[in-house]
Structure 1
Amino acid sequence: MSTTYNKDLVHDAIRDSLPWYRNPGLVKLYLLLISPLLTSTAWGFDLSMTNSLQSVDTFMNNFGNPSGATLGFFGASASVGGIVACIIGGPLNQRFGRRMMCFVGGLIVIGMGLMQTFSTSFGMFSGGKLLLGLGSNLQQVAGPVLVTELAHPKQRVALTSIYNTSIYIGLIIGAWITFGTFSMDSAWSWKIPCILQIMLPVYQVVTIWFCPESPRWLVSKGRVEEARQILIKYHGNGVEDAVVKAEMQEIIAGVEADKTELKFEWDAVKAILGSRGNRHRLWLCFWTAVGSQCAGSNFISTYLPEILEQIGMSTSREKTLINGISSIWCWVCALLAAFIIPWVTRRQVFLFSISGMTACFIVWTALTATYLRTGERSCGIAVLVMIFIFNFFNSICWIPLVITYPLETVTTKQRSLFFAFTMLTINASSFVASFINPIGIQNLSWRYYIVQCVFNTLLGLIIYFTFAETHGLTLEEIAVVFDGDEQFDNAIARAEYEKKVDVDTHEEVTDIKV
């Protein structure tokens, strides 16, 4: 590697940079990033309503008390829209930029929130929910990518980890609005939560254009100077300091070293899959996405009312109250984890989480079986306690890292497409889990939980043997973990040579003019 690029010096410069709250440029940037940081709130609000509305008698009676497969499709419909969004979202995100997708997705969520409010049939309501999933996932394909690529290297992991905790803002707002309206003896008991879910998307579509575009996306489009000025303005607070210079050098080299061609052609697909590093990336994206939906969290996020019915908590007040408290608890756990994750290794977090979740599910299964056999209320309360402990283990890992880990394992050119694949897998696995879980619970009762215990054990083995460590590395350095350092080193050297030629040429021209 050229002597002008020194990895240790780059890390020292990042470490010694001012705290963000003492850098006015970063303070402004992070205030502007609130808009993309909140893109998962619409998904959280929808999950909360999926859960809470099943506890509202007026809603269930109005739409004929759906159950079984009909209720399963209702719970899974947003994921169907999400699958479509992830298929088209990656290429659109790469072509039009991150901000445009946040904007378009927000408009769709607003329109479908209004459609749900004035639905006249359960099919119409589920259709609005399906299209709301489309809009929400268009936002989610772009929002975290924009946050990751704009954040200062010193705060990147913390900010990206914080991103998905905003799903709980939607869950909390939706749960407590429903708790406040469930007792109303009119259709407004469910219409008020539906119409209020458009509040944050309205804020997002207005403010997203004040946020700068991703410098890495701009470089990939040849707009290098525009990207440089964004980094100088926000990261360097108007000065092209050592960190900004290192960032630009790494971004340009990373884009140049990445030979990925993102086209819908068979040769391009073969080129991507032909790389061992890319196959490893796709493997990690796939299992991180599946784990976030199928490690047991889907039981609670979508069908908590049915679980509470099993343990004797059947009133609307009990269900909506527990749902609201659970959402706050999960948000606190996830938010605390977002600040701890930058200081510990990814594998430690994944393994600690899946081990705790599996242990909780084993105890949960035994307690549910005992309650259904004996009817002892203490066993039902113990199940509720296990649900809260399970939520702790889930929230500290799968909420922040399902975004952070896939985004940091891929290169700039890959990021929008590979993350779209991650979101596609999230929605597909969520659809499967959401659709079969109520059927499994209805037909197998507590025995259905045994399947979950086995799956979690297998997932833990996959994490232990195949998950790569990315702790403490910049985005471009993580690429070297998968691809080796030869391409990156050559690109760094080439970028330095071209910069030197530009400087020499500029000096010669200056001399001539003088």
Structure 2
Amino acid sequence: MTTATPEQERIQQLIRDAPPWYKSSNLIKLYLLLIAPLLTSTAWGFDNSMTNGLQSINAFMDKFDHPTGSRLGFFGASMSVGGIVACLIAGPLTDRFGRRPMCSIGAALVAGMAIMETFSTSFAMFTGGKVILGFGAFLQQVAAPVLVTELAHPKQRVTISSLYNTSIFIGLIIGSWITFGTFRMKSEWAWKLPCILQVMIPAYQTFMIWLVPESPRWLVSKGRTEEARQILIKYHGNGIEDEIVRFELQEIIAGVEADKTVMKFSWEAVKTTIGSKGNRYRLWLCIWTAVGSQTIGGGFTATYLPLILDQIGMSSEKDKTLVNACINIFNWLCAFLAAFVIPRVGRRTIFLFSTIGTNITFIIWTVLSERYIATNHVGLGIGVLVMIFAGSFFVVLCWVPLVIAYPLETVTTKQRGVYFAITMFTINVTAFFTTYVTPIGLANIGWRYYLPTCVWNMILLLVVYFTFVETTGMTLEEIAVLFDDADDLFNANIAVGKDLDEKRDDTVSHVEDAVIEKGESDKE
């Protein structure tokens, strides 16, 4: 790890000594406004929950002729199809037009497609709605966490960005408990009601996002430095241009100027993206974090929990919808607590702890599943259920909050939109593969389908151990030095610092002259 300069150590101490957010009225306002982008993952969570829950509702399965195999697989993976397309265009659009427009447009699409799902007359129409819903959801997913990360005060940045993806469980909880509450209804509203209620949160986001300030880092990258400065003063300095605000602005400008990455559709852009060792390392971490988040522990409970519960004898509508609802509350509590633990423990440490725990619990899960199928012993089925909860604990402790926070902090301001789009693209491709093949594998080879996942979990552990870097206690610009030439940022920082000091002195001089002139005129 790069050694911090005395100036950086002083600023880090100032950040640590900064008053808590709840003692700053403008920070309170900022974080209330950030609720809109922070809720973005709820759309994904709500849809995943309904994908699980609707398979347990007879009225839905009867309406659409009980889809199985590849037909059910595409239904489960359809949101990822839309997400793949969105991620191909969202990065460049986010960097060109800003973070907020993509959040608003994506939310409007999610709300519209939820209405389409509600009134679908065929399984193809319902699945098509899910595809476009996925497109809208991932327009948001690319832009919203970037906006949150770049607006949060440096003292709370890691906690706030880690909290972002926990909102997926808000969607999961709402969706699962609604389906648990409606499965008894003797009409098509048993599945239509959960669909139409999905409109609420994205409708709120569509309009509220415009009250959120734009990212200061994006504004600086577009030459709108004064706008960025005013946002930092208002929210991070509570109306005062203190030392932390001055340091933030200086580092943001220096980081943008030192970053040689070109974010355009050109050969030069490709060369700057993969041409340097530091950028290739960033891509490696982004891609492995994305793949790991969708494959650690198989990701089976995310979309096909009813199929797993069928294997251990819990096949009633009530049992499956209740377990689905309870596991989502459990997961949300674990992920929420993890967001506050991660800044104190360290990213690499929590990755290792989580992956080791998942390896152990999934091996036990696999063994118990085989024994239950061989003996049909009720205790073994309960044991599998316990391992499902234990495995979920280890996965959401790390791979849910950090799949957003870790890639976002390892890339530069110029790269953040496009590299995160690559991360989300990888998530969608991986999610499509796992959700498409899982019902086919479980149907054809049962518990043996878990064996490759045991091997894969071990591979992930080795990748984390040997290649993941620690970023705890560093600003976004300082993290860049782990991958790039420290001299570039250092020299840019000095140049920008002198320039800002000159401008500040010039401003003070003009103000003093104006005061003197006014005083002399008053005497006359």
- Alignment of structure 1 residues 350-361 onto 2, 5 Å: 350-361=351-362
| Alpha-carbon separation, structure 1, partners of 2:511 and 2:66 | 80
For 1:261, what is the secondary structure of its paired residue? coil
Alignment partner of 1:163 is 2:164: yes
Contact 1:297/1:391 (8 A) holds in 2 = no
Aligned partners of 1:359 and 1:162: how far apart in 2?
26
For 1:105 and 1:278, the matched residues in 2 are separated by 29
Cα distance change, pair 184–211 in 1 and its aligned pair in 2 (3 A) = same
Cα offset, 1:115, TM superposition: 0.5
Give the match for residue 379 of structure 1: 380
Note if contact 2:81-2:134 (Cα within 8 Å) is conserved in structure 1: yes
Q: How far is the alpha carbon of 1:385 from its aligned partner?
A: 0.4
Task: Report 1:217-232 matches (<5 A).
Answer: 217-232=218-233
The match for 1:150 is 151
Instruction: Give the TM-score of the pair, scaled to structure 1.
Output: 0.97
1:356-505 mapped onto 2 (5 Å cutoff): 356-503=357-504
Task: List, as ranges, runs of 4+ consecutive aligned residues in structure 1 with deviation greater than 4 Å.
Answer: 503-514
Question: Map of 1:22-421 to 2, 5 A cutoff?
Answer: 22-296=23-297, 298-421=299-422
Deviation sequence 1:24-55 (CA, Å, 0-9, x none): 11011000000000001000000000000000
Q: Distance in 2 between matches of 1:441 and 1:489?
A: 55
After superposition, give the CA deviation of every residue in 1:72-104 in whole Å (9 maximum; x if it has no partner): 000000000000111100001111111111100
Q: Aligned equivalents of 1:510 and 1:69: distance in 2?
A: 72
User: What per-residue deviation string (whole Å, max 9, x for no partner) do you get for residues 271-303 of structure 1?
Assistant: 210110100000000000000001125200100
Match of 2:522 in 1: none
Structure 1: distance between partners of 2:508 and 2:151 = 33
One-letter code of the match for 1:355?
I
CA deviations over 1:223-258 (Å, ceiling 9, x no partner): 100001001111111100111111101111111111
Q: C-alpha displacement at 1:146, in angstroms?
A: 0.6
Q: Is the 8 A contact 1:297 1:394 kept in 2?
A: no
> Structure 1: how far apart are the matches of 2:64 and 2:489?
58
Residue 440 of structure 1 aligns to which amino acid in structure 2? G
| Whole-Å separation in 1 of the counterparts to 2:268 and 2:140 | 29
Which amino acid is the alignment partner of residue 157 of structure 1?
V
In structure 1, what is the Cα distance between the partners aligned to 2:278 and 2:154? 23
Distance 1:5 1:356, change over 3 A: closer
Q: Report the residue type matching 2:366 in the other structure.
A: T
Letter in 2 for 1:78: M
SS in 2 for 1:481: coil
CA RMSD of aligned residues (A): 1.4
One-letter amino acid of the structure 2 residue matched with residue 379 of structure 1: L
**Counterpart-to-counterpart distance in 1, 2:375 and 2:502:** 82
Structure 2: runs of 5 or more not aligned: 518-524
Larger deviation, residues 184-193 vs 500-509: 500-509
Decide whether aligned partners of structure 1 residues 208 and 510 sit closer, same or farther in structure 2, where only a CA change above 3 A counts. Answer: closer
Q: Give the whole-Å Cα distance in 2 for the aligned partners of 1:46 and 1:335.
A: 20
> Do the aligned partners of 2:298 and 2:450 also contact (CA within 8 Å) in 1?
no
Local SS of the residue matching 2:481: helix
What's the CA shift for 1:496? 2.1
CA distance in 1, matches of 2:156, 2:512: 43
Question: How far 1:509 sits from its partner (Å)?
Answer: 7.1
> Could you tell me which residue of structure 1 aligns to residue 521 of structure 2?
none
Whole-angstrom CA distance in 2 between matches of 1:325 and 1:189: 19
The secondary structure found in structure 2 opposite 1:472 is coil
* Aligned residue identity for 1:452: T
CA contact (8 A) 2:183 2:191 kept: yes
The one-letter code matched in structure 2 to 1:212 is: P
Counterpart residue type for residue 251 of structure 2:
E
AA aligned opposite 2:283:
L
Identity across matched positions, percent? 61
Are the structure 2 counterparts of residues 441 and 11 from structure 1 closer, same or farther at C-alpha, using a change threshold of 3 Å? same
Contact 1:75–1:435 under 8 Å retained in 2:
yes
- Distance change in 2, residues 1:511/1:440 (3 Å): closer
In structure 1, C-alpha distance between the alignment counterparts of 2:247 and 2:255, rounded to whole Å: 12
CA distance in 1, matches of 2:236, 2:302: 38
- For residues 144-180 of structure 1, the C-alpha deviation after alignment (integer angstroms, 9 at most, x for no partner) is 1111000000000000000000000000000000000
Deviation for aligned residue 1:9: 1.3
Deviation of 1:494 after TM superposition, in Å, equals 1.3
Q: Offset at 1:498? A: 2.2
For the residue of structure 1 that corresponds to 2:213, the secondary structure is coil
After superposition, the Cα gap between the structure-2 partners of 1:61 and 1:510, relative to the gap in structure 1 and judged at 3 Å, is closer
TM superposition shift of 1:502: 3.4
Q: CA deviation at 1:497?
A: 2.7
**Secondary structure of 2:265's aligned partner:** coil
* Equivalent in the alignment of 1:16: 17
Q: How far is the alpha carbon of 1:267 from its aligned partner?
A: 2.3
**Preserved CA contact (<8 Å) 2:217 2:252:** yes
- The answer for unaligned runs of 5 or more in structure 1 is none
- Counterparts of 1:382 and 1:503 in 2: how far apart (Å)? 66
- 1:60 to 1:497, Cα distance in 2 relative to 1, 3 A: same
Aligned partners of 2:312 and 2:499: how far apart in 1?
Answer: 69
Say which is worse superposed, 502-511 or 310-319, in terms of deviation.
502-511
Superimposed CA distance per residue, residues 365-417 of structure 1 (whole angstroms, 9 cap, x where no aligned partner):
11111111111111111100000000100110011000110000000000000
Give the residue type in structure 1 aligned to 2:216. P
- Cα distance in 2 for residues equivalent to 1:503 and 1:153: 23
In the alignment, the residues of structure 2 paired with residue 503 and residue 97 of structure 1 have an alpha-carbon distance, to the nearest angstrom, of 28
Amino acid at match of 1:189: A
